[in-house]
Structure 1
């Protein structure tokens, strides 16, 4: 696991300033504390920070091919590199190292742009080909590894593994992108391909980018893989029962190759427990596992993690974190480089911190809920859709629309009485309804939050457009598959994988994600929705397959998630900070917000009339970002 950076001048052949590329690369030293080096050609500079995992003494980067034609910088792991090594050796290619980096180089020389189809793993890399005078860039299929880039007015294409690498360039313009502020306050993150900055971008998952000398501008990124959505025949029950564990175990197995200590997160939930169960069956030594607990029972899952640890006799470590562990609040803006509102970033940071004390590589269970329909919102979405199918939109809109506007927001009431969001969603179509469910500030809330000036500047744009773009690609699928696909394109990459990448790399920890191995995804997404979601139970096919491997209480208890007690923080130890931040001059004079509504959100929450904790955290993280921007 590493950090990469580079400068590629589209028109100038002069040598890149060595101090400048070093400054950019040093911004991500936490991603690779073991080594750092550079490559220079006229108009080209490639940089690398290394966290040594495989071939510890060999495989230095940037790496030149044996014939000196091509040079690569690479972040990630290629799990099938040994098979590719054999295939390419048979074709006459020379290998001087024992790692996966040289495999990418020779794959490029043999197959060109098509080389990405041969690679199985998580990756973001850039290859400079001297012969073709091109820079080829690729990102893995699910977006596990990040890639940021920008084209400067000077003609310099700059890139890095984190956004802070881009902003380190003195010529980069930090003007904010207007529409991504709307996206952020809707979703809690900035979705691909945009960033918070107008002129910086994320290469989307499953895409490549090819640049040539003398290009006049940025070419379009090219998609080379997508979640398969046109399966001729879905899997039947027998196939699921026979194949799921075998395929999952194989995906875990190929991620257990490392020349450094390896372990796994073990939260006590289904997904991480499944990964630990597979690991324990694949190695004779006890698996290293770690868990973070909270000193408040409602947020603590460690007893379930301990049950799994005991069953498989793992080397289990637990650290208990105080419910008032909010010391990281000021660090989060620097960690994520742009507004990011998932508060579970705090315990994720802590569990990565714990893991790094004992291992350099950790496996995680991320992706299981998106792949097997595990979130409770899928059940609610399915219920809403069953009503939509019986009543046409022309009838639903005049009935449910007014109810959604008039029904009060009753956060403290039992769930059955908190119907405002449901009424709103019932007046919408499938994709708009799901977008409403996923929004932190829903459309009516954003209308109150934003200033009239900012709303005019959006020219009618809404983050709903992102969901519609993906929803249109899978409109032939059922409502659950549509929601899952949208999540895999937005929430999984923009929130979950972003959270884990930044939190883990802050501690120089590599995290591998077997459940979203692309071959496993291609198989598992064919599982019919009624096999995943039935009788009020989500992820049913996954849980049934795991019954011989995990305790019933772990499989079928209510999902907790990595929650933190925001509501209590904002009425107690963070109350003063909340007022000072959300009502600060830089927020109220930014031009984005309706100041009176900001005041109302805080007052309603502190008084106990409403639970606005998610909204207030989203605002506080935005203020923290603005403050960091001003200071840098």
Structure 2
């Protein structure tokens, strides 16, 4: 697990300057790899690497070269099937100089070309530079577990890195806010544009994509995607397959030359992982008795005979750390769980370099409430399921009548959803405010952006024909999961030089998840039904059946406490906030929330998040002047 940063271009001609600039870029992400550093520099390319040593502790330093040193790689991530690939490549005549997984990618590229990405099992972002042709090849893993950012500058230079902040020291890089990013952020709570970021001219390489760069021209192509469909397996058969795949994936993710621990919450996902892994150490954090999952985690750890560590995070600690949290995230993320995840990672990093967690199960196996029935009335659920199977013309006609009717009745929402397409009602797992509310709060230059539908419709187009549940899963996999869940998991763990592995987001496990019949995803009010049945073989009933809680964070209590209300109000009242917002409107929203006149905590927190992030990157940060 490491961090990469570099550039391709000839605008920096002085060798010492090229080296210093690369060093400065690497220093910006030292937290990703505090153990060692490495560089490759020629007159066209500069490749930097920061290492967190996990596999081949002595010999795995990067950059790594092939046999005749005409190709060089820097890599961030872990390849879990590298021993098998290494055997294949040795049999094909390749010679290895290290025991690290990195070298498998490089020799695999020599053997299979760009198709090497189709053979990798793991989390990764990497670049390979061909010293003869000047071509750069890079890729980001199937789910987007590892981030990869890039920018093509006006002068023709190409920047890349694990984090956007590594671009800041580059002389030709200009920090400019992408004005189009703010309005969608206020709706979704995270950077929601397709490949664009909050920095103008900086882009995310999409998950499951690779690229080539030659002579200043970049070509991007998809190499993998989820292939949801309806399998024909019985419930018992699919539960067996899920169980086998989870156990196999957790075991594959064990590979390391250091100890591997696990995060542990009250939910079924991390509990399933911990029960299979049986690590020596697990970790959890909480805030108070109302917002504290640690007590449940401790009970399960006792049941599994695992050493468990937990801590309570105070509100003072949370507010003091919040600017640093937003700095490490690169882009603003108002998901309240960023806060406990930051402190949880810090806790685990005191003892370990590697932990596992349960991200991904909700998206792969349908764990969110929005996927299932909104009502508890069994008769309505049965009726809605029957209506789903009506001929299309009848469904459309009935849907039109229900939407036109002003009469409300119990279960109407459920029936409308069963007849409608998800693109007409589903926006994912975060909706902070209506688009009209966002526009009313924003100043004129920040109101122009893509609409929610323009952002999500291309994803729904790719999942057309699937069941409603599977369409919603596919949407979350390519939006909420990759743009929020996985990015905060990577950034918050790496902020503390901690490698976070997510065995429930595995290519082999995904092959099982793709074919789970829709009726086994949600049964009645039970989400992740088949997944929970598999977990029941490893966990007590109160764990595998427990309702999803997320990562509870007491932002309501904080914003109704005078001390923190005043801190937020001070930020809202700063002059720079008026560039983006109608300050009278956001101050009123905050004051009314504090006075309990409105429930505006998520809206306030989202605005607070953006202003905190903007202050960190555009006001407080100053470039270091190299000697």
- Residues 1:347 and 2:340 are matched in the alignment: yes
- Residues 1:584 and 2:585 are matched in the alignment: no
- Structure 1 partner of 2:439: 447
Q: How does 1:488-567 map to 2 (within 5 A)?
A: 488-567=477-556
- Structure 2 partner of 1:283: none
- Residues 1:608 and 2:596 are matched in the alignment: yes
CA change 1:315–1:11 in 2 (3 A) is same
CA change 1:341–1:391 in 2 (3 A) is farther
- Residues 1:570 and 2:556 are matched in the alignment: no
- Among 592, 617, 632, the alignment partner of 2:605 is 617
- Residues 1:155 and 2:156 are matched in the alignment: yes
- Structure 2 partner of 1:112: 113
Deviates more, 1:563-572 or 1:312-321: 312-321
CA change 1:439–1:238 in 2 (3 A) is same
How far the C-alpha of 1:100 sits from its partner, in A, is 0.6
- Residues 1:331 and 2:324 are matched in the alignment: yes
- Structure 2 partner of 1:597: 585
- Structure 1 partner of 2:82: 81
SS in 2 for 1:137: strand
For residues 257-277 of structure 1, give each alpha carbon's deviation from its aligned partner in whole angstroms, at most 9, with x where no partner exists.
Answer: 111121111112100110011
- Structure 2 partner of 1:272: 270
Asked if the contact 2:213/2:219 (under 8 Å) is kept, the reply is: no
How far the C-alpha of 1:347 sits from its partner, in A, is 0.6
Distance of 1:60 and 1:556 partners within structure 2: 45
For the aligned residue pairs, the C-alpha RMSD in angstroms reads 2.6
Deviates more, 1:115-124 or 1:556-565: 556-565
Distance of 1:439 and 1:426 partners within structure 2: 21
Asked if the contact 2:231/2:516 (under 8 Å) is kept, the reply is: no
Distance of 2:174 and 2:233 partners within structure 1: 50
- Structure 1 partner of 2:430: 438
Deviates more, 1:306-315 or 1:140-149: 306-315
Distance of 1:96 and 1:63 partners within structure 2: 9
Asked if the contact 1:141/1:205 (under 8 Å) is kept, the reply is: yes
- Residues 1:315 and 2:313 are matched in the alignment: no
Distance of 1:532 and 1:329 partners within structure 2: 37
- Structure 1 partner of 2:241: 243
Q: How does 1:416-431 map to 2 (within 5 A)?
A: 430-431=422-423
SS in 1 for 2:72: strand
CA change 1:436–1:63 in 2 (3 A) is closer
How far the C-alpha of 1:234 sits from its partner, in A, is 4.4
Deviates more, 1:47-56 or 1:306-315: 306-315
SS in 2 for 1:490: helix
Asked if the contact 1:7/1:159 (under 8 Å) is kept, the reply is: yes
For residues 34-53 of structure 1, give each alpha carbon's deviation from its aligned partner in whole angstroms, at most 9, with x where no partner exists.
Answer: 00111012211100000000
Deviates more, 1:579-588 or 1:512-521: 579-588
- Structure 1 partner of 2:177: 176
Distance of 1:273 and 1:145 partners within structure 2: 23
CA change 1:135–1:97 in 2 (3 A) is same
- Among 207, 210, 214, the alignment partner of 1:208 is 210
How many aligned positions are there? 602
Is there any run of 5+ residues in structure 2 with no aligned partner, and where? Answer: 376-380, 389-394, 622-627
- Structure 2 partner of 1:412: none
Is there any run of 5+ residues in structure 1 with no aligned partner, and where? Answer: 281-285, 404-415
Normalised TM-score (structure 1) = 0.90
- Residues 1:291 and 2:284 are matched in the alignment: yes
SS in 1 for 2:198: coil
- Structure 2 partner of 1:464: 453
How far the C-alpha of 1:488 sits from its partner, in A, is 0.5
CA change 1:222–1:2 in 2 (3 A) is same
Deviates more, 1:320-329 or 1:547-556: 320-329
Q: How does 1:479-494 map to 2 (within 5 A)?
A: 479-494=468-483
